[in-house]
Chains A and B, each alone.
Chain A
């Protein structure tokens, strides 16, 4: 599609006939800007640009205390055991990766000196290895030098199955070798288009070998450093109380010039999002509040004459309604929603199409998400480059009714449509969460008007997202007709996100419902596109494959996206935080400062 044009543009940039900025702008014009736009250049032979830093202070320290409010406090400080992003956020105050992601999805160097590219020879042309140069002179907080051994050890630590590290997926298919004291090489089994996963961002935090060497594998729980981290980061560890408080002080030997700005840091946990917003925006007791998922009216009211404001970061998180392609009410071999069944209503594409006309995304945005949401027709909403322009959505009860009428679903005596004795009755489940219950109500109302009866069900989040095999109410078992939630996209690349719906990943009793394809949708074209994209080194073709995959999901109405959600944070008016939709909140902490 854009293949030829892009190729000649890359050539222009390489030949110096076009500058990088103009290139990015041209890509934006054709809907191809974003984090991976830079990786296109990297693979096309032009080095990826490092994200610009907004950091202004000209000396280290002097910023006073930085008070952060995480309403779910971190409960442990080993990033590779993190049960949620909160633990990664806490660990990231002290530990660092080689590079991280800035708000535009550009790479920012932390412990590395150069962004790998084919031009500087650090990225292999076949995409099967990447070399990182480490910053010289970096010291751990206890004074020991940081070297390639630490990076290699971190990989060994994670891939040991007895360690049970949650980051193992990133590392188990690669090998890491030490080239010299300040150089490491990552080898991939097959061409890897997205090479910036291991040692980058929240899952890439590097552990000190000298403190963890004895606690690899089955002894991993006993490491005292799990609760008292020694890292290379901008702040040194002082105190940790799980779920309540983390304290740190400035690292006077930090490896970035003039950084960090604050003399001490405090991360307080507990409470709820609304009162966290109040403590930051209204009373100014805290400088920064994490993940402020609060109704927009409340935030707007707090912001009036307050001491802080909300800030937003765009990522790829999509709140979606998934349709079940199997029958949740028929049991086959002791398994409901079995692959041997077909959904009695959704096997008619007209019903699925009609349903997509009944989700009023504009009202959901207005009534619930406000500034923190965007309407979308796509399942894949980021990075920009991968967002399909071929889709559209509309809310129209008339159109939905017409589609159903044409397909032979006629209203019965009770006003509910039916065909061949099957009534259009749906069970709609989601987790208990204010915005979700309101969205359910909006969808239910529209469905009723179109003659579809919707029964709502809400399950406690810890049950809904549980992997407990004995539990009938999990999203993976999907004993309902439709269900709504979101799967966070944690890196600026769609590979992991899209692979979930490959037909080989269907959730069944056999794999204890651990398969990731919970709609149980099977489409050969989709499988082919995903398989091809996995090994495709040509960034343009790869992009096209993911856009195709998204469009297949759209055409089959596997998901009805309810909202593209943005990250919402609260910050004091004087604070200048750097928040990326593609990274954890504390990923760019070294660039935070306060403007007087």
Chain B
């Protein structure tokens, strides 16, 4: 087992190197540079932008810049943002709590809705409950988050005036008031994201369950006289969860990566909004760091998913 994990980690190294190379080259070849805004200001002489480009090494050939980046990264130096001249790791750590809180809660909400609803719908296929759940799921994943987000703002902020739509990181008050305020401002973004995720996940859980529930061993279990609850939870669910675990594992990096659109709508200072503003201002070190961390997380969670398979289904052996 530990050998398997070690081997997988070693295999990850060349693929991560490859990913970083592709990312770096694409970013370097993309048009625009972080000092373009200076060019439109008649007060700023062109030499300033040129000097900054030279100082931050933007005029070096791509391979040199890549090697610099790589060796710095190996030493744990993530570089600094051209736009705010702050270290990239500080910048990312500053944004991480909001993303973890909002996106994490949304994923949790999605799981809490999807698994019970999906499982229950699969046990009674084509019942009224199943029909309703299916319809709602279709509606849910057909509506994009930028639409539901604005719809929620119009209903709950503008018309009813119940919830704020600008997310603030420095909530006033302490103790229970602080907690309540944090929950209040997260309700809309969490609901928008969570319901969207829940919709597609419900359909997935339901079909995974349906695949398993018809198998012979389930009939055998029932024939042994086991109760419905025990059959579903211990026998069906455990096997049906394998594809679901893959899906969830692949969505976990998104918890860290943030949700670009939703974060923008509700002004949540998370990784997603950092990524989009960095892309817009051509702040390559930040874009590079965020996308690379994202790639690492995808590799890592894939590995975790594989390890979980072994636990869920002992027939899958890890060699």
A positions within 8 Å CB-CB of B: 69, 75-76, 78, 81, 83-84, 161-162, 164-170, 203, 218, 221, 226-227, 239, 241-245, 247, 266, 268-272, 275, 278-279, 282-283, 285-286, 460, 462-463, 465-468, 470-471, 473, 476, 485, 487-491, 496-497, 500, 512, 514, 516
Contact = CB atoms under 8 A, between A and B. Distances in A.
B286 to A, nearest CB: 10
Interface in B14-63: 31-52, 55
A283 B158 CA distance: 6
A490 B42 contact: yes
B35 A463 contact: no
B189 to A, nearest CB: 13
Contacts of A282: 158
A166 B44 contact: yes
B46 A285 contact: no
Interface in B152-172: 153, 157-158, 161, 164-166, 168-170
Nearest to B91: A242
Contact of B51 (A164, A244, A275): A164
Contacts of A485: 40
Contacts of A69: 166
B67 interface: no
A161 B55 CA distance: 11
Interface in B245-263: none
Contact of A221 (B85, B158, B264): B85
Contacts of B78: none
Give the top 5 A-B pairs by smallest Cβ distance, nearest first.
A514-B46, A244-B269, A466-B36, A242-B84, A75-B84
Main secondary structure of the interface of A (DSSP, over half): loop
A271 B264 contact: yes
A434 to B, nearest CB: 16
A500 B40 CA distance: 12
Contact of A270 (B50, B170, B269): B269
B284 interface: no
A266 B33 contact: no
A467 B33 contact: yes
Contact of A496 (B31, B40, B42, B48): B42
A262 to B, nearest CB: 15
B84 A466 contact: no
A485 B41 CA distance: 13
A285 B166 contact: yes
Contacts of A278: 153, 158, 165
A164 B42 contact: no
B81 A239 contact: no
Contacts of B37: 83-84, 465
Interface stretch (B198-206, B211-219, B275-283): B275-283
Given A275-B153, A497-B42, 11 more contacts: A69-B166, A75-B81, A83-B38, A84-B37, A164-B52, A166-B43, A166-B44, A227-B86, A466-B32, A466-B33, A476-B39
B24 to A, nearest CB: 17
B267 interface: yes
A497 B52 CA distance: 24
Interface in B71-93: 80-81, 83-86, 91
A83 B35 CA distance: 7
A245 B153 CA distance: 22
B170 A239 contact: yes
B93 to A, nearest CB: 11
B166 A279 contact: yes
B148 interface: no
B46 A467 contact: yes
Contacts of A226: 85
Contact of A242 (B42, B86, B170): B86
A281 to B, nearest CB: 11
A467 B86 CA distance: 23
Nearest to B55: A164
Contacts of A283: 157-158, 161, 164-165
B42 A487 contact: yes
B127 interface: no
B166 A268 contact: yes
20 contacts: A75-B83, A83-B37, A166-B44, A169-B43, A203-B43, A243-B273, A271-B166, A272-B264, A275-B153, A275-B165, A283-B157, A283-B165, A462-B281, A466-B31, A466-B32, A466-B282, A471-B31, A487-B40, A489-B42, A516-B42
Nearest to B280: A462
Nearest to A497: B42
Contact of A271 (B38, B42, B267): B267
Nearest to A220: B85
B32 A463 contact: yes
A270 B165 contact: no
A465 B83 contact: no
B193 to A, nearest CB: 17
Contact of A83 (B83, B153, B265): B83
Contacts of A268: 166, 168, 267
Interface string B262-303: 001101010001100100111000000000000000000000
